Structure 1
Amino acid sequence: MRSLERHRDVGAYTLGVLDEADAFRFEDHLMGCPSCTAHVSEFGPAARQLLLYRRATPRAVHPFAAPGPRFLDRLLGEVAARHRAARRRWLYAVAAVVVLAAGGPAVAVVTAHDSPADRVATTDAGTGVWAQVTWADRVWGSEFDVQVKDGEGPRACRLVVVGKDGSEQTVTSWTAPAHGSGAAAMHGGAAFRPGEISRFEVRTRDGERLVTLKPR
């Protein structure tokens, strides 16, 4: 496979439609191509939304069927909730500025969040890999922000979320930068709700566990 063809395969790789041999060759190319690594990260959220849609859609439903009113209502409800939360944060910020400007003897600052979020971070004693995962409840599952420091890069890695029922879903994948670089930051999603999560695992392409994080 020529280099240009490898660049063109970034979308197919992210969607998981490459066969095993082509996927293996593309991952080798990915380790030395910052451009493709960036594209994989950009395409990741869209690919995960398509995966979630496929899992939530019965086989009898045509893939291009229009969404029903209940589905649209749920999406509109989440958008409206985010807008309300953003307005609350703005009002709290204005109130805090007013209090600070008044120069009162005591200041209380109130913060608000658009939805509850949790965070866990740890370093594996054996591999030395540090990871931090922040997640928040969403209508369709959970949304994640991931940071990983891996001094043994470059190597292809992925974050896997394991449910309490033993099932697994890949949240995001990336190529760890060369040792000496800072933390890699990714964003992703999964169909698990926060209460269904047992643990997170950062794994290599070959399945080696680099660090395990368990929610409190």
Structure 2
Amino acid sequence: MRSLERHRDVAAYALGVLDEAEAFRFEDHLMECARCTAHVTEFGPATRQLMLYRRATPRWVHPLAGTGPRLLDRLLAEVAARHRARRRRTLYAVAASVVLAVAGPVIAATAGGGTGAVQASATDERSGVWARVTSADEPWGSQVALEVKDAAGPRACRLVAVGRDGSEETVTSWTVAPRDARPTSMQGGAALHPDEIARYEVRTATGERLVTIPAP
């Protein structure tokens, strides 16, 4: 996939319509493209509104049914307000991503034992994968440090933060070394704040869930 085509996949990725393989390739692109990262974050309010509408709408209501003018005005006003708030968070997130790229080991150490940082760990009996998440609240969302033990490599994996509203954000991704049971450490971030996250999931590139860690 060419770079221009990856840029065009921002909306499809944010709305969750890409298949697992395409989503994983796009996430690799996100790690190197601050512009697309900002655009994905900006789609967050619209995505959440669509999810809330889907949950609140009875199954017998046609998906293309029209809305009254008052409901539409309220919806547009709320989306605009959240868009402005998300835009401010995006600026913090982009700045934080630069800091993580330059001083990753220092940030990881701070997340592991800094003020306000909390930890949770879990082991999946079926997959044998162990993971520990350390998260800290930031103005732009959550700073996350991850440790994983996975002896079933090689395979590509990612850490997904699942919000209490059902939304999902990829925190970080990595490739497991072949037959290496030593812990792997990395760091990442999410626009969701810690109190907005219900759990973390380690998944393969094909969507297989390896271990679930309750939010600290």
TM-score between the two structures when normalised by the length of structure 2: 0.54
Partner of 1:137: 137
Q: What's the offset of the Cα at 1:50?
A: 4.8
Q: What's the offset of the Cα at 1:41?
A: 9.3
CA contact (8 A) 2:194 2:215 kept: no
- The DSSP-based 3-state class of the residue aligned with 1:162 is strand
Distance 1:134 1:173, change over 3 A: same
Distance 1:56 1:167, change over 3 A: closer
Partner of 1:51: 40
Q: What's the offset of the Cα at 1:54?
A: 4.8
Distance 1:193 1:40, change over 3 A: same
Deviations 1:152-185 (A, max 9, x none): 1111111111111222111112211111252222
Long gaps (5+) in structure 2: 47-75, 97-112
- The DSSP-based 3-state class of the residue aligned with 1:198 is strand
Distance 1:154 1:41, change over 3 A: farther
Q: Equivalent residues in 2 for 1:53-202 (5 A)?
A: 53-55=42-44, 71=88, 113=114, 115-180=115-180, 182-202=182-202
CA contact (8 A) 2:30 2:36 kept: no
CA contact (8 A) 2:123 2:129 kept: yes
In structure 2, C-alpha distance between the alignment counterparts of 1:129 and 1:47, rounded to whole Å = 31
- The DSSP-based 3-state class of the residue aligned with 1:195 is helix
What code does the residue aligned with 2:40 have? L
Deviations 1:114-139 (A, max 9, x none): x5111111211111101111111111
CA contact (8 A) 2:30 2:37 kept: no
Q: What's the offset of the Cα at 1:71?
A: 4.2
Q: Matched residue pairs, number?
A: 160
- The DSSP-based 3-state class of the residue aligned with 1:43 is coil
TM-score between the two structures when normalised by the length of structure 1: 0.54
Q: What's the offset of the Cα at 1:150?
A: 1.0
Q: What's the offset of the Cα at 1:142?
A: 0.9
Long gaps (5+) in structure 1: 1-5, 28-38, 61-66, 80-111
In structure 1, C-alpha distance between the alignment counterparts of 2:122 and 2:33, rounded to whole Å = 24
Which protein has the larger Cα radius of gyration, Structure 1 or Structure 2?
1
Q: What's the offset of the Cα at 1:186?
A: 2.2
Identity of aligned residues (%): 40
What code does the residue aligned with 1:133 have? V
In structure 1, C-alpha distance between the alignment counterparts of 2:143 and 2:34, rounded to whole Å = 10
Deviations 1:29-51 (A, max 9, x none): xxxxxxxxxx8796388754553
